Structure 1
Amino acid sequence: MLEHSKVLLIQTAFLGDAVLATALLEKIRNESPDSEIHILVRKGNESLFKAYPYPNVRKVWSYDKSRKWSSWLELRHDLSEEHFDAVYVIQRFLGMGLLSLSIGAKRVVGFDKNPMSLFFTEKVKHEWGTGIHEVERNTALVKSWLGEKVFKPCLQAPEIAMSPDMRKKEYICISPGSVWETKRLPIRIWIEFVQLLPENQVVVLMGSPGEIELSNQIAEAFQGGKRVILNETGRHPLLASAYLFQQSKMSFVNDSGPMHICSAENVPTVAVYCSTVPSFGFGPLADWNRIIETKEALTCRPCGDHGKKNCPLGHYACGEGIEAKALFQAYQDFLGSGSQKI
């Protein structure tokens, strides 16, 4: 059996990908508790790992994509001095594949779709579009070391002060944004959904600074009314946002980073899929979850492996075809399930 006293995980893609990588942290923690773990993520995502509550993660490294080459060189120098037993390259990009091979680790394991996989100690088949979840795909990287058992991602954000209107486990979160426009449920549908909710249901709008306008449109639709709509979009650092999700009754999200944060915190989740599909392997993992997507069989969906900046055909039927009453039904299903956290 392989023994690794010190390993490096590399995942410098988007926020959600970094969150899902905590499933590997959990696997290593449980099945090789004496192993020291380092993880390399995109700059800006490193604070998230302050919400990983276990000390086996010794150091979180960051890759600054705004200065790719100089940051890459710095990392190559610094990581070379760590003398890792193994590096596990979770992503499939050339730069990180090359970095993994350049730091003198005893073993390098990555996916066969990485351009540098020919030189890896071990390459693992990357299955896509078959319904296999990303955490299962990632777990395959360490199968020869730790076996097949899959663990869920894990985050536990530290407590922050909240608005008096945010009573723990009583408000719901809505995250209307996504990096990709074709992953965003149209704002009018979010507004219609909120209109269906009980008037005393507190709604907290969440998102990054770049998504403020999306949340503003929802909040402005209810100005002057009796509903409590708290627009927290762009107001909190990543770790604080994770805590607000963690304390919600349930969260409504697009196929985006907040969905994966909710998975890692086991927050009841309603996930909306527009141009992408759950079979890509990035679905919600909370114990209670629902997936909402159009009921129409669209030959154009999915239109790509990721989202797009706009609908290639101009009609955006995958988003426009989703009904607010489907979201409300999920809300009612949860209230009737007895699954609410206290």
Structure 2
Amino acid sequence: MARVWRTKQIERAGVNAFRAVMESAGHIVQEIDGGNDYGEDCYLSFTHLGQRTGDIAAVQIKSGVKYRRSAGYAIPCGKHVDDWMRSRIPVIGVVHDPEMRMLYWVNLTKYLREGFAQGKRPRSVPVSEAATLDRVGIDLMVRDVRNFIAQDYGRPQAPLTFRMALSQELRKKRYERQRFFMEAPPGGRPIPHFVSEANFLERYPKFPEHVVNVGFYVLVLLVSAMMGPGLFETARSTYGVFSSVLWLLCFYVTFWFLISVAKVDSNRRRAKWMRRGADFMLFSGWYFAIGVYFPTAPWPVPEIVQVIYASSIVSMVQAVLLYGGMHYVSDELSRRRRFRAVQRVVAADEQGDEGAVSGNE
């Protein structure tokens, strides 16, 4: 069976894309039979307001990524230089990028004539990335080619509308910006406004973590200090002035003990209950601090409730500090005993190895 070549499919994709774009804009595309292809793939008849203008251009279509260059695209001239330059109708070059799904164009006849006027015979014609055949780009291409035809026949040029000029300038700026970022080094271009901050964080990588920790402790300290007067009045309902000061001190010490130990305890379940105990002390402290200290509190606290709370806090502090403290001290002593036992085993093994080596000697 006949083989379908990949290159042929790519070429047909370019012709089909050009035909679809131009016909959607109302112009007429007439393909040239492949056996009669001498540097042109089709003819393009321009229309205006649904009427043919009589202006015609030949079109050479190249399709594929192999026509890409470091900046834009290029159409090789080969043996068609003289044909394109001396053509009585302009020959338009179109490049179809199948990956970008874009069409780009250039006036081959115009470029080659200008080059020959300067004594040049180019081997390829560059195609700018800004010369796209999109909705606005088609209008610019039609105007440029029709003006080129009008100059040859001495007819007046079509005026450049404000919309076309503005769109052309915006497209030029957009492609310049794209090229700027495409030519960036690996990783992209640095943003000058944040270079010094990035250098500081590379030098001190733990700084954000320290800021968060310090901010948390400062916030908790402020919250604790703000509810201090109300808690002192709560303790005064049961104890004297000196005992109330000790009660308030034990309240804060227990609260900070629960927070700090919960962060380092390897037993997740026990650490969770310690955090819950700290949360209870914090929210209950605020409840009593606001209800007792402010005369117009939204929730006035009865004196009997203050007495029960003050007494229960004392029992909680004793349980946490005595039981919790002794438990962690016992764990530390057990850890040290296990560590010393491991050291003795390692030392004995090392001595045994040395004795075996000396015996062999």
Band the TM-score falls in, shorter-chain normalisation: under 0.3
Give the number of the structure with larger relative contact order, counting CA–CA contacts within 8 Å between residues 6 or more apart.
1
TM-score between both structures, scaled by the size of structure 1: 0.20
Greater percentage in strand: 1
Greater percentage in helix: 2
